[in-house]
């Protein structure tokens, strides 16, 4: 694997990366629970077609739009202490940038969604007011994946984690370390 310059002592970097990892595991649990809520929400909509944003199945679903952006914000703030995770020109990490942009789109669309449903009561997944909503989440998750892989790959490089045995996964870590997971130009 590519050798990264050591800008802070190895022990310090491992501890800091693991603190980021704690946030990531907590957010992973949240994301997993929201997958379950897809079914709860779906079953609610079989009986009540369009309801308020404040029914329980929606509390659960919408709460992750608060939890995950706050969690990624915490990661972004703490991330500044790990030099190898910085983006181009010492800016914020590219994966985190994508995540923040994705959630901004989602937050904006929550408002648009409520305005739309004030006039149109249907709840079909493919209606236009949901488009940016769903695309925002996808962009956020893509950025988050790139960031998580980068953190894990660095932990592997520092000898704190075991590298993946699957050669395709190992190749992905290698590309992440070389800054080529998304493109050859954006680290």
Q: Does 36 bind another protein (CB under 8 A)?
A: yes
* Per-residue binding letters, 126-165, with another protein (x by CB under 8 A): ----------------------------------x-----
What single string gives the DSSP state of each residue in the chain?
A: -PPPP-SS-HHHHHHHHHHHHHHHHHHHHHHHHHHHHHHHHHHHHHHSSS--TTSHHHHHHHHHHHHHHHHHHHHHHHHTT-GGG--GGG-S-HHHHHHHHHHHHHHHHHHHHHHHHHH-----TTSGGGHHHHHHHHHHHHHHHHHHHHHHHHHHHTTSSPPPSSHHHHHHHHHHHTT-SS-SS--
Q: How many residues bind another protein (CB under 8 A)?
A: 32
Q: Does 82 bind another protein (CB under 8 A)?
A: no
Q: Does 29 bind another protein (CB under 8 A)?
A: yes
Shortest separation between residue 67's beta carbon and another protein, angstroms: 11
Q: Does 55 bind another protein (CB under 8 A)?
A: yes
Q: Does 121 bind another protein (CB under 8 A)?
A: no
Kindly indicate which of the ranges 46-54, 86-94, 115-123, 170-178 contains the residues binding another protein, using the contact rule CB under 8 A: 46-54
Q: Give the interface with another protein as residue ranges (CB under 8 A).
A: 6-9, 11-12, 15-16, 18-19, 21-22, 25-26, 28-29, 32-33, 36-37, 40, 43-44, 47-48, 51, 55-57, 59-60, 160
């Amino acid at each position: 694997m590519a050798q990264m310059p050591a800008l802070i002592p190895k022990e310090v970097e491992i501890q800091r990366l693991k603190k980021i990892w704690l946030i990531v595991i907590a957010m992973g649990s949240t994301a997993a629970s929201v997958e379950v809520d897809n079914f709860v929400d779906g079953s609610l909509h079989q009986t009540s077609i369009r309801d308020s944003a404040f029914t329980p199945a929606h509390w659960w679903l919408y709460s992750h739009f608060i939890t995950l952006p706050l969690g990624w914000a915490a990661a972004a703030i703490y991330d500044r202490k790990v030099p190898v995770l910085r983006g181009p020109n010492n800016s914020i990490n590219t994966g985190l940038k994508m995540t923040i942009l994705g959630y901004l789109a989602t937050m904006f669309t929550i408002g648009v969604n409520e305005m739309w449903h004030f006039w149109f009561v249907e709840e079909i997944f493919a209606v236009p007011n949901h488009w940016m909503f769903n695309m925002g989440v996808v962009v956020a998750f893509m950025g988050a994946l790139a960031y998580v892989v980068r953190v894990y790959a660095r932990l592997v490089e520092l000898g704190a984690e075991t590298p993946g045995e699957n050669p395709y996964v190992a190749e992905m870590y290698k590309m992440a370390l070389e800054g080529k997971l998304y493109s050859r130009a954006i680290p």
